[in-house]
């Protein structure tokens, strides 16, 4: 009861806050239809603008004498705004623009009535935006003539429709739309739906107006249009219920690189349509590769936009991993057509309701279409690792939470919400099993199509699906799931066995990286599924028991009583997001099996990764010893899978990054030896280049080579140095370029640095620049590195930020010039704050903390916090630094002592 009351309070407070949210529209207005006419001018750099008119049909739920809409950065001539109804015109007394709240308020001379339908007409104009929001411009150059072509395209999510036209810009206020676009004949105009008819512009020569078919009820953030001069890429068609026509549009010079992703889209859509048993409702989809884009891609109905670099792929120049990640982005956008577009969250506090399922179904779709890639498990494993780290610190927040104003809404779009959201959906899937989960998801889409929802709606449909399968024991889905979405953090379940009676005692506490007296008690509804050594079935994922909330411990009699020399493992495939600790004897039984049994005794690779991750985290906090943790790692020479290797190497590197001087060297020796067993199984760089290797092998060997060369394994550095930069650059296998370049710079001379920097500055190979930047960062000579870093800071190119981050990441990891590099970052904080985006700044700040190279003095800290993009990451950094310092003083010696035994 306690926890239930706690949730009610939370829910109530969310409700109350949003009612008082000064940024929210009132609930009085119900838009029904928008008629939008936009004339776009693309006549050169100083003539990038639009003018338009919106007609909104709406009614009111209560009498009112004013109308509040959203508008931002639009010029509106109040004298031309009209409001009418069948009974005549209603005069407008005055209009008020609230720039801060992004509101446009009209005061009327008469009261609006519930029974009347109104038509509001607002003419407006504005510049095409240059920062990828609202209605913005982008451009590309003809590779032969150097002529610049401009294009205009929208990015309305989450709160930017109001920059393009006045509207009721909240996701639950769905309405139908009819869009008419005016533009010069040299261009093509697109919107969500196909063109219905075109006619000449009434006055402007060579301009036309094209009216698009109406679009069904949709949120404003999903409306889209574009005027451009891109080239069409032929796209294979594929059976979908409504014979959807796909077209892709890119700038001429990348047409040949657009085929793979262009052709993937119809397959993805068709797969999802079948899986969700709800056909995609539009007749066409245009995919637009835009040179600049605020995000990676945007799922607008029927007009999906991509950052160009996420839509084109060149196998000879780009890594396989990047092809996989672009495919994953694409699958995510198409999953949104159901999760987000058809069924929309009422408000941005529940953003995870669209991002979680889209991420999860994106993975499922790639697994179905590209089974040999093995993407799903690798991506889950990566999400799990991120989640377990991020959600164990004090500043973490629930995925479902109150948001106010555009800035706080934008911040919701964080990696954390996507990943924990996806893990939450996966948990639901595994908890309920395929049959109930899919039947629940299908009814969810069907029941709420064209409507908007809160998370309770999802729980409710799932609960109905559970009840429909009466054999299943009744679980209150909402009670269970709320405990995961409405509170931050996650539990650790401690398992203690009684080896005489074969019973098991379990209890839960929240897992914190640093325990603190102030931490409030919390608990979760935790499904418990045990696997025993004799019946090592890791596919059986439905709960056998529940650890309920607020009761936090239980003694259980397992169905299959384990004998005293048999291990048990809780949480097969890490279906629910919690850590597990066992008693010492059970840990040792597990360790024995991993070290000796055929195929690791059937222990699933996600569990092998998680066992190491958990035990290292427990040892970090002194809840277990490093002796025990390292004895678990002893099995690694037998390990052939990517997931456990990737996880443990990331964990170990986080320890190693904090060490300095002698300890850092001991650590180097340790990793060199550890990774040798993995490295030896990989083909030589030369044969990796010639054989057609699978994505899985490339991924695993890339990890092996990266670690081996980073820690100086001789065979690796020799192989890398076997390529001479002057002549052999083309021969280096694409997926290993950064590693080879880095090693060559690390052990090379000044001439090589000069050469690579020249290539970076002169060559037009955009796709090689990351590898060059990473390579240059490996220099042992700071004077040289500084030249490069300064060059990046002076450059005006938009992509510079990434290269700066890549170069300093190398420098900090190699440790030769880490201190100077950290100082370079701090000294140039103001420039970086201007040039880099928030995500890049965050990675810089975290990089400083993770490498513990520099102690930022209090006054410097205050100065940095005055820089907008630094403020939040620094708060996180201060907290993480405390965590790291505690480990350095209390645990690092023990870590080194045990590790030394293994070198
Ligand atoms: C608009 O009218 C409502 C009552 O219908 C009133 O509560 C509100 O304060 C008014 N808003 C403004 C900005 O005048
Ligand atoms: C658009 O926004 C910028 C900065 O936010 C402001 O300087 C400018 O005046 C605005 N333009 C209009 C037309 O409101
Ligand atoms: C968008 O760009 C304009 C200049 O074109 C600038 O004044 C404005 O502050 C920018 N807005 C945001 C949100 O970055
Ligand atoms: C285009 O620009 C490049 C470099 O900026 C220059 O070398 C080339 O001559 C230009 N071509 C034309 C046709 O102007
Ligand atoms: C459109 O693109 C073509 C080549 O792709 C170019 O020749 C033409 O000038 C462009 N038109 C405009 C209006 O930019
Ligand atoms: C339209 O295209 C033609 C031919 O490519 C070109 O001569 C003309 O300048 C273009 N007009 C505009 C406004 O882009
Ligand atoms: C789709 O195309 C097929 C064959 O081209 C046709 O038989 C079918 O009627 C079409 N379906 C729709 C909904 O147009
Ligand atoms: C944890 O966060 C809460 C609220 O954000 C704060 O009051 C508390 O001081 C923090 N505790 C620590 C140890 O940082
Ligand atoms: Zn998304």
CA of 39 to the centre of ligand 4 (A): 33
pLDDT at position 476 is: 85
Name the residue with tokens 């040289």. Answer: 784
pLDDT at position 1 is: 26
Closest residue (by CA) to atom 3 of ligand 5?
Answer: 229
Has residue 7 got a pLDDT over 50? no
Minimum-distance ligand to the CA of 131?
Answer: 3
Has residue 725 got a pLDDT over 90? no
pLDDT at position 240 is: 79
Instruction: Name the token pair of 16.
Output: 């109350």
**Interval 270-296 mean pLDDT:** 96
On average, the pLDDT of the chain sits at 93
Question: Per residue in 28-78, pLDDT tens?
Answer: 999 999 999 999 999 988 899 999 999 999 999 999 999 999 999 999 999
The answer to which of 211-220, 335-344, 432-441, 466-475 has the lowest mean pLDDT is 466-475
Which one of 186, 229, 231, 252 would you pick to mutate in the ligand 6 pocket, going by the greatest count of ligand atoms within 8 A of its CB?
186
Closest residue (by CA) to atom 9 of ligand 6?
Answer: 186
Q: Which atom of ligand 5 is nearest to the CA of 145?
A: 7
Which long-range contacts (C-beta less than 8 Å, at least 24 apart) are formed by 656-663? 657/812, 657/813, 657/850, 657/851, 657/852, 658/850, 658/851, 658/852, 658/884, 658/887, 658/888, 658/892, 659/892, 659/896, 660/815, 660/852, 663/892, 663/896
Closest residue (by CA) to atom 9 of ligand 3?
Answer: 131
Length of the chain: 903
Residues 300, 282 contacting (CB under 8 angstroms): no
Which one of 516, 518, 520 would you pick to mutate in the ligand 8 pocket, going by the greatest count of ligand atoms within 8 A of its CB?
518
CA distance 188 to 177: 20
pLDDT band at 235 (very low <50, low <70, confident <90, very high): confident
Evaluate whether residue 84 is within a structural domain: yes
- The model carries a pTM of 0.94
Residues 414 and 515 in one domain: no
Evaluate whether residue 775 is within a structural domain: yes
Helices (H), 201-295: 259-276
**Residue 366 sits in a domain of what CATH number?**
1.10.390.10
pLDDT at position 691 is: 58
Question: Per residue in 664-685, pLDDT tens?
Answer: 999 999 999 999 999 999 999 9
Minimum-distance ligand to the CA of 764?
Answer: 4
Which one of 44, 142, 233 would you pick to mutate in the ligand 5 pocket, going by the greatest count of ligand atoms within 8 A of its CB?
142
Closest residue (by CA) to atom 1 of ligand 2?
Answer: 73
Closest residue (by CA) to atom 6 of ligand 4?
Answer: 146
Closest residue (by CA) to atom 7 of ligand 4?
Answer: 146
Has residue 623 got a pLDDT over 60? yes
Evaluate whether residue 720 is within a structural domain: no
Work out whether strand 343-345 and strand 451-453 pair parallel, antiparallel, or are unpaired: parallel
Has residue 385 got a pLDDT over 80? yes
Share of the chain above pLDDT 90, in %: 83
Residues 544 and 481 in one domain: no
Has residue 14 got a pLDDT over 50? no
pLDDT at position 296 is: 96
Its sign, for the CA torsion 383, 425, 449, 173, is negative
Q: Is there an atom of ligand 3 within 6 Å of 78 CB? A: no
Q: Is there an atom of ligand 4 within 6 Å of 145 CB? A: yes
* Ligand 2 pocket by Cβ (under 6 Å): 73, 75, 126
pLDDT band at 552 (very low <50, low <70, confident <90, very high): confident
Closest residue (by CA) to atom 9 of ligand 2?
Answer: 73
**Interval 560-589 mean pLDDT:** 96
Dihedral pair phi/psi, residue 516, rounded to 5°: -150, 140
Q: Which atom of ligand 5 is nearest to the CA of 229?
A: 1
CA of 806 to the centre of ligand 9 (A): 25
Residues 457 and 499 in one domain: no
Q: Is there an atom of ligand 3 within 6 Å of 130 CB? A: yes
Residues 381 and 457 in one domain: yes
Has residue 2 got a pLDDT over 60? no
Evaluate whether residue 15 is within a structural domain: no
pLDDT band at 856 (very low <50, low <70, confident <90, very high): confident
pLDDT at position 394 is: 86
CA distance 753 to 725: 10
CA of 73 to the centre of ligand 2 (A): 5
Half-sphere exposure of 156 (CA within 13 A, CB side): 29
Name the residue with tokens 């019973």. Answer: 503
Residues 496 and 475 in one domain: no
pLDDT at position 542 is: 84
Question: Per residue in 197-232, pLDDT tens?
Answer: 999 999 999 999 999 999 999 999 999 999 999 999
pLDDT at position 10 is: 36
Domain holding 122, by residue range, is 24-228
Instruction: Name the token pair of 8.
Output: 């009610």
**Residue 873 sits in a domain of what CATH number?**
1.25.50.20
Minimum-distance ligand to the CA of 394?
Answer: 8
- Total structural domains within the chain: 4
Among 485, 503, 530, identify where a domain stops: 485
Evaluate whether residue 219 is within a structural domain: yes
pLDDT band at 5 (very low <50, low <70, confident <90, very high): very low
Has residue 142 got a pLDDT over 50? yes
CB contact burial 550-588 (16+ within 10 A = b; e otherwise) = eebebeeebeeebeeebbbbbbbbbbbbbbbbbbeebbe
**Interval 839-844 mean pLDDT:** 94
pLDDT band at 239 (very low <50, low <70, confident <90, very high): confident
Q: Which atom of ligand 2 is nearest to the CA of 99?
A: 14
**Interval 438-452 mean pLDDT:** 98
Which one of 50, 71, 73, 135 would you pick to mutate in the ligand 2 pocket, going by the greatest count of ligand atoms within 8 A of its CB?
73
CA of 150 to the centre of ligand 5 (A): 9
Has residue 786 got a pLDDT over 60? yes
The answer to which of 328-332, 847-851, 856-860 has the lowest mean pLDDT is 856-860
Please report, for the chain, how many H helices and E strands are present, in that order.
30, 32
Q: Which atom of ligand 6 is nearest to the CA of 184?
A: 13
Residues 501 and 401 in one domain: no
Evaluate whether residue 445 is within a structural domain: yes
Residues 400 and 455 in one domain: yes
Has residue 11 got a pLDDT over 50? no
Closest residue (by CA) to atom 5 of ligand 8?
Answer: 395
Q: Strands, E, within 115-206: which ranges?
A: 118-127, 134-141, 148-155, 175-184, 188-191, 195-200
The answer to which of 21-30, 153-162, 503-512, 639-648 has the lowest mean pLDDT is 21-30
Which one of 66, 92, 102, 112 would you pick to mutate in the ligand 1 pocket, going by the greatest count of ligand atoms within 8 A of its CB?
66
CA of 141 to the centre of ligand 8 (A): 52
Which one of 141, 146, 147, 253 would you pick to mutate in the ligand 4 pocket, going by the greatest count of ligand atoms within 8 A of its CB?
146
Closest residue (by CA) to atom 12 of ligand 1?
Answer: 66
Residues 801 and 873 in one domain: yes
Residue 560: which of 583, 586, 537 has the closest Cα?
Answer: 537
**Interval 305-318 mean pLDDT:** 94
CA distance 9 to 329: 37
Minimum-distance ligand to the CA of 283?
Answer: 7
What is the residue-wise DSSP string for 368-417?
A: HH-GGG-HHHHHHHHHHHHHHHHTTSTT---SS----HHHHHHHHS-HHH
Q: Is there an atom of ligand 6 within 6 Å of 184 CB? A: yes
Q: Is there an atom of ligand 3 within 6 Å of 837 CB? A: no
Share of the chain above pLDDT 70, in %: 97
Residues 419 and 535 in one domain: no
Among 485, 501, 527, identify where a domain stops: 485
Helices (H), 624-713: 626-633, 642-658, 661-679, 685-690, 695-710
* Ligand 5 pocket by Cβ (under 6 Å): 149, 186, 229, 252
Name the residue with tokens 């089974």. Answer: 371
Question: Per residue in 153-166, pLDDT tens?
Answer: 999 999 999 999 99
**Interval 299-309 mean pLDDT:** 97
**Interval 755-759 mean pLDDT:** 95
Name the residue with tokens 């030589």. Answer: 684
Name the residue with tokens 């052939």. Answer: 640
Residues 754 and 831 in one domain: yes
Question: Per residue in 509-530, pLDDT tens?
Answer: 999 998 887 788 899 999 999 9
pLDDT at position 76 is: 96
Has residue 755 got a pLDDT over 50? yes
Evaluate whether residue 371 is within a structural domain: yes
Residues 504 and 383 in one domain: no
Evaluate whether residue 313 is within a structural domain: no
Residues 143 and 116 in one domain: yes
Has residue 17 got a pLDDT over 50? no
Q: Strands, E, within 206-360: which ranges?
A: 207-212, 215-218, 225-228, 231-233, 245-250, 284-290, 297-298, 303-307, 343-345
**Residue 61 sits in a domain of what CATH number?**
2.60.40.1730
Closest residue (by CA) to atom 3 of ligand 4?
Answer: 146
pLDDT band at 4 (very low <50, low <70, confident <90, very high): very low
Question: Coil, strand or helix: which one is 293?
Answer: coil
Among 485, 515, 542, identify where a domain stops: 485
**Residue 541 sits in a domain of what CATH number?**
2.60.40.1910
pLDDT band at 19 (very low <50, low <70, confident <90, very high): low
Closest residue (by CA) to atom 14 of ligand 2?
Answer: 73
pLDDT at position 9 is: 34
């Amino acid at each position: 009861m306690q926890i239930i009351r706690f949730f009610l309070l939370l829910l109530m407070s969310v409700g109350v806050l949003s009612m008082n949210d000064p940024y929210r529209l009132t609930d009085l207005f119900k838009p029904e239809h928008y008629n939008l006419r936009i004339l776009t001018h693309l006549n050169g750099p100083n003539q990038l603008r639009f003018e338009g008119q919106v007609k909104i049909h709406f009614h009111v739920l209560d009498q009112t004498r004013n109308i509040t809409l959203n508008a931002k950065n639009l010029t509106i001539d109040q004298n031309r705004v009209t409001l009418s109804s069948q009974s005549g015109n209603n005069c407008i007394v005055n209009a008020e623009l609230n720039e801060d709240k992004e509101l446009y308020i009209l005061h009327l001379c008469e009261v609006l009535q519930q029974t009347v339908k109104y038509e509001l007409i607002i003419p407006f104009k504005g510049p095409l935006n240059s920062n990828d929001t609202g209605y913005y411009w982008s451009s590309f150059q003809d590779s032969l003539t150097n002529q610049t072509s401009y294009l205009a395209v929208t990015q309305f999510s989450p709160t930017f429709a109001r920059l393009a036209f006045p509207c009721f810009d909240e996701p639950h206020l769905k309405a139908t739309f009819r869009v008419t676009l005016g533009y010069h004949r040299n261009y093509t105009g697109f919107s969500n739906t196909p063109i219905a008819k075109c006619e000449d512009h009434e006055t402007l020569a060579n301009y036309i107006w094209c009216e698009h078919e109406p679009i069904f009820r949709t949120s404003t953030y999903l409306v889209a249009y574009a005027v451009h001069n891109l080239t069409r890429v032929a796209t294979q068609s594929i059976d979908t219920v409504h014979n959807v026509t796909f077209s892709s549009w890119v700038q001429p010079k990348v047409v040949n690189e657009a085929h793979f992703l262009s052709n993937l889209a119809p397959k993805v859509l068709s797969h999802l349509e079948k899986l969700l048993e709800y056909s995609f409702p539009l007749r066409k989809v245009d995919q637009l590769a835009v040179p600049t884009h605020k995000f990676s891609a945007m799922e607008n109905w029927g007009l999906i936009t991509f950052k160009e670099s996420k839509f084109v792929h060149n196998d000879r120049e780009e890594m396989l991993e990047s092809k996989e990640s672009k495919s994953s982005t694409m699958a995510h956008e198409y999953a949104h057509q159901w999760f987000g577009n058809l069924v929309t969250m009422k408000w941005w506090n529940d953003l995870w309701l669209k991002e979680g399922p889209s991420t999860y179904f994106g993975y499922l779709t790639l697994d179905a279409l590209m089974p040999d890639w093995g993407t799903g498990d690798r991506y889950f494993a990566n999400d799990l690792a991120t989640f377990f780290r991020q959600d164990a610190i004090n500043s973490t927040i629930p995925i479902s939470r109150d948001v106010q104003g555009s800035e706080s809404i934008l911040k919701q779009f964080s990696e954390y919400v996507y990943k924990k959201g996806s893990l939450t959906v996966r948990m639901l899937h595994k908890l309920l099993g395929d049959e109930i989960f899919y039947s629940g998801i299908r009814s969810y889409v069907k029941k709420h199509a064209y409507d908007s929802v809160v998370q309770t709606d999802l729980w409710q449909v799932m609960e109905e699906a559970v009840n429909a399968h009466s054999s299943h024991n009744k679980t209150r889905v909402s009670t269970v799931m709320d405990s995961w979405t409405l509170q931050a953090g996650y539990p650790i379940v401690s398992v203690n066995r009684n080896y005489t009676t074969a019973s098991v005692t379990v209890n839960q506490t929240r897992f914190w990286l640093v325990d603190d007296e102030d931490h409030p008690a919390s608990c979760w509804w935790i499904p418990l599924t045990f696997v025993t050594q004799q019946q090592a079935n890791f596919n059986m994922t439905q709960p056998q028991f529940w650890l309920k909330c607020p009761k936090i411990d239980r003694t259980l009699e397992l169905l299959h009583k384990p004998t005293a020399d048999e291990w048990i493992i809780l949480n097969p495939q890490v279906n629910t997001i919690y850590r597990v600790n066992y008693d010492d004897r059970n840990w040792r039984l597990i360790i024995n099996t991993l070290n000796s049994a055929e195929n690791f005794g059937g222990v699933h690779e996600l569990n092998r990764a998680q066992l190491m991750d958990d035990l290292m985290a427990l040892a970090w906090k002194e809840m277990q010893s490093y002796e025990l943790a390292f004895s678990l790692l002893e099995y690694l020479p037998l390990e052939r899978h990517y997931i456990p290797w990737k996880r443990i190497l990331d964990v170990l590197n986080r320890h190693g990054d904090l060490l300095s001087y002698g300890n850092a060297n001991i650590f180097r020796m340790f990793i060199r030896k550890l990774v040798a067993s993995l490295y030896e199984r990989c083909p030589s760089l030369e044969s990796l280049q010639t054989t057609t290797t699978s994505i899985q092998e490339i991924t695993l060997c890339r990890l092996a080579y990266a670690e081996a060369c980073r820690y100086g394994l001789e065979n690796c550095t020799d192989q890398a140095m076997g390529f001479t930069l002057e002549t052999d650059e083309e021969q280096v296998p694409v997926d290993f370029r950064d590693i080879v370049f880095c090693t060559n710079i690390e052990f090379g001379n000044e001439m090589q640095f000069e050469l690579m920097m020249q290539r970076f500055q002169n060559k037009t190979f955009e796709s090689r620049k990351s590898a060059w930047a990473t390579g240059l960062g490996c220099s042992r000579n700071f004077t040289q590195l500084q030249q490069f870093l300064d060059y990046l800071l002076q450059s005006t190119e938009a992509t510079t930020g990434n290269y700066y981050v890549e170069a300093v990441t190398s420098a900090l990891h190699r440790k030769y010039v880490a201190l100077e590099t950290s100082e370079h970052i701090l000294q140039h904080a103001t420039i970086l704050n201007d040039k880099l985006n928030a995500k890049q700044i965050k990675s810089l700040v975290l990089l400083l903390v993770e490498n513990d190279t520099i102690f930022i003095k209090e006054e410097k800290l205050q100065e940095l916090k005055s820089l907008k993009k630094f403020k939040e990451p620094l708060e996180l950094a201060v907290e993480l630094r405390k965590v790291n310092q505690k480990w350095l003083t209390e645990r690092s010696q023990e870590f080194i002592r045990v590790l030394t035994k293994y070198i």
